Structure 1
């Protein structure tokens, strides 16, 4: 308790005296109360060069000298990004389609729609073969790709197939398996 009072008194004496090197260096730091009340303004020294050009031009020149960050247009496309992006897209398509159909099935009686299995099967059966094939392929491809790529991610979680060569091989394997299985399902 006494040490606190001594420290406070010495700090008060130091603040009252004429500015010394210590108080000038301490003036750079704002007190929390000054920051909280908004009475503190940080000051920086001005430029030493007598340049009176437009500041927006200076900023544009500085930006031109900065390094360009890597962008998708710089990198060579790889199977890993395509597989990652397609995994997210196919998951959204599969789950979104399920939600849309489930919602439509729930509100069908209110609007008088017939979404029973018999009416869907009859409507689908009336389609020509090419249309049936495209509908089934459109439904099967996202689900098969997402499923096989999900197995690939589960294998990665176990610590397997993580070298660059293995990642590329498993990526093309997933593409091949999902395409073959989707075609097989569409031809059923």
Structure 2
């Protein structure tokens, strides 16, 4: 079934710009043109077929792998990953403690860590300290951005390199505690 309908603000403007308000009919027609489009009602399955055909003709969005890696987007992804990882670790331990409080009590955890070889202890410390340090320093970087500092490209890179340096120093400091 074919139907014709007006598009946009035209109908409302034509009603507003009635002959008693706009005396010059030619001027009214210039500013408030009537534009119509023909539409056709389709079955939902036909609509889906047309939509899928249109999607096939669209160009693909470029994938992030075709771009040169930049410190800003790598640090953004790393911030999200470290935040999610630390959250999963914290919530997992909390849930495990709720399920079995005797097994995951502080004394038992300290005893377990004390019985591990030194290499495993230091590896575990690095695995915990590096994401914690990075996420903390990058959070401070974001707070500085929120206050208006380091918003230029040069400033963003300076702050990014500062975060990486502070992360390295903090990780070593936390591991050696």
- Provide the TM-score with structure 1 as the length reference: 0.63
Please state if 1:87 is matched with 2:85.
no
Q: Which has the higher strand share?
A: 2
Higher normalized contact order (CA 8 Å, seq sep 6+, divided by chain length): 1
SS of the residue corresponding to residue 138 of structure 2 reads helix
1:105 Cα offset (Å): 0.6
The equivalent residue for 2:40 is 42
The equivalent residue for 2:98 is 106
In 2: Cα distance, 1:68 partner to 1:114 partner? 52
1:146 Cα offset (Å): 0.7
Please state if 1:136 is matched with 2:125.
yes
- Does the Cα contact within 8 Å between 2:4 and 2:39 map onto a contact in 1? no
In 1: Cα distance, 2:59 partner to 2:122 partner? 51
In 1: Cα distance, 2:78 partner to 2:143 partner? 16
In 1: Cα distance, 2:60 partner to 2:86 partner? 38
The equivalent residue for 2:10 is none
| Cα-to-partner distance string for 1:20-65 (whole Å, 9 max, x where unaligned) | xxxxxxx5229xxxxxxxxx9618xxxxxxxxxxxxxxx79x94xx
Instruction: Provide runs of 4+ in structure 1 moved above 2 Å.
Output: 66-71
- Does the Cα contact within 8 Å between 2:79 and 2:134 map onto a contact in 1? yes
Over aligned residues, Cα RMSD in angstroms?
Answer: 2.6
In 2: Cα distance, 1:139 partner to 1:120 partner? 15
Please state if 1:163 is matched with 2:155.
no
Paired residue total: 133
Of structures 1 and 2, the larger Rg is shown by 1
In structure 2, runs of 5+ residues without a counterpart are 7-37, 42-52
In 2: Cα distance, 1:142 partner to 1:71 partner? 26
